[in-house]
Amino acid sequence: MQTRIEGVAYVLGDNIDTDQIIPAQYLTYNPSIPEEYKMFGKYALSGVPDTGAGLPKGHVPFHTPGGDEYTSPYTIIVGGKNFGCGSSREHAPIALAAAGIVAVVAEFYARIFYRNSINGGYLTPLETKDRLIERVCTGDKLVIDITAGTLTNTTSGETFALFPLGEVAPILEAGGLFSYAKKVGMLKE
C-alpha cells in the first residue's frame, strides 16, 4: 500500500452501486487470466448512465475517447455516500483497480465493497466526513497522505481530513487478507 497517492480525480455521486461499477454482463471474464483481467478495466464504470446520472457535475467519460480502452486517465475516485452498494460482487474493486484506480475516497461505503477492496488488496478505500463531491471536480489533481490522514486538492489548494485506516492498514500493506495471514503466520505458505 502506498502511503502517498498522487493522481487525477474522477468524481461520482451518492449510491454508486456495483452494477454501475461493473455491469453483470462482464462478469464472465476471469480476473486471474491477464488478458481477461484487462477487460474489467475496459468495462469499469460502464454502468453509469450516459445521461450522467451519478455524476454531480455533468458527464465526463471515465475512459478517454480514442485513448487506452483498458485504463482510465484517473487514479483516484471521489464518491459520495454509500459507495459500492448493491450486490456483493468482488469484481467491483477488481474492475476499478484494473482501470488504474489506486484509491477511492467516499463519505461511507457499503460494507461488502469496503471489505472486498481490503481483502483482495485491490485499492485503498478511504473515508472522510467532508462532502468532497461538492468540493472536488473531475480532473482536479489530488494528493492523499495516508500517514497524515489528509487529502489535498492541489488544483484548489484545499486540504481535507481523512479517517485513519486503523486495523485494516496492515492488511492493505501486505497486499490483501491472504497475504496478511501468511505474513503473520495464520496460514502456511
Distance CA(30)–CA(69), nearest Å, equals 18
Contact 160, 126 (CB under 8 A): no
170 located within any domain? no
pLDDT band, residue 51 (cuts 50/70/90): low
Residue 117: inside a domain, yes or no? yes
Q: Going by C-beta distance under 8 Å and a sequence separation of 6 or more, which residues neighbour residue 128?
A: 105, 106, 107, 151, 160, 161, 162, 163
Distance, in Å, from the CA atom of 56 to the CA atom of 137, rounded to the nearest integer, reads 9
Which domain covers residue 89, as residue numbers?
A: 4-164
Instruction: Give pLDDT, residue 87.
Output: 83
Span 32-57, mean pLDDT?
Answer: 80
| Domain assignment present for 22 | yes
Classify residue 30: in a domain, yes or no: yes
Q: Is residue 169 part of a domain?
A: no
Scanning the structure block, which residue is given the C-alpha cell 487470466?
A: 33
Q: In this structure, is residue 100 part of a structural domain? A: yes
DSSP string, 14-25: S--BHHHHS-GG
Segment 95-152, tens digit of pLDDT? 999 999 999 999 999 999 999 999 999 999 999 999 999 999 999 999 999 999 999 9
* Number of domains comprising the chain: 1
Q: How do the residues of the chain divide into helix, strand and coil, expressed in percent and rounded to 5?
A: 30, 20, 55
Residue 117: how many other CB atoms lie within 10 Å: 27
- For residue 123, what pLDDT is reported? 96
Model confidence at 21, pLDDT cuts 50, 70, 90, reads very high
Whether residue 181 is contained in a domain is answered as: no
> Which CATH number is 158's domain given?
3.20.19.10
Identify the DSSP state of 83. Answer: B
Name the pTM for this structure. Answer: 0.92
Mean pLDDT for the stretch of residues 55-66: 73
> Is 26 a residue whose pLDDT tops 90?
yes
Answer yes or no: are the C-beta atoms of 5 and 124 closer than 8 Å. yes
Domain assignment present for residue 13? The answer is yes
Identify which has the larger pLDDT, 118 or 59.
Answer: 118
pLDDT band at 55 (very low <50, low <70, confident <90, very high): low
